[in-house]
Amino acid sequence: MKNDCLFCAIAAGEIPSSKVYEDELCYAFFDIAPQAPVHFLVIPKEHIGSVAEVNGDNSPVVAHIFEVIAKVARELGLESYRVVSNVGEQAGQSVHHLHFHVLSGRDMTWPPG
Ligand code: AMP
């Protein structure tokens, strides 16, 4: 757990969140400022700063997160959804703990803005 990391504190239960799913490796919760009718985030419990910090040692948790995304989406009855991870300021990353946005429930444009 990294000091002063919002998502480490959420994963540890120190800051309240609206939980969607949890296991020993990852935590999923609804976004506080949803950008679609369904918008949740999936994060590893271990601190990884972003996709840019994924490597051979920590990539198993990323594979696991994608299994969790598929499972949770099935359970929520989502037939179509978008998975996004912003890396760095220009891409819009505001929280520096790896997270995957899962957005669903409305038409989406491509390319994203
Ligand atoms: P990003 O801007 O890609 O780093 O995504 C960070 C996301 O975290 C944004 O969509 C925020 O709305 C969301 N967020 C920030 N604080 C919280 C919180 N306390 N609970 C749930 N979602 C949050």
Rg (CA), the chain: 14
Q: Which of 39, 47, 99, 101 is catalytic?
A: 99
Provide the phi-psi class of 105: left if phi over 0, else alpha when psi is between -120 and 50, else beta.
left
pLDDT of amino acid 113? 86
Ligand 1 pocket test, pick from 15, 32, 103 with the greatest ligand atom count within 8 Å of Cβ, gives 32
Neighbouring residues of 52: CB distance < 8 A, sequence distance ≥ 6: 87, 88
pLDDT digits over 68-107, tens only?
999 999 999 999 999 999 999 999 999 999 999 999 999 9
pLDDT digits over 22-65, tens only?
999 999 999 999 999 999 999 999 999 999 999 999 999 999 99
pLDDT of amino acid 103? 98
pLDDT interval class at 7 (50, 70, 90): very high
Confirm whether pTM is higher than 0.85: yes
Return the SS3 of 27: strand
CA distance 101 to 103: 6
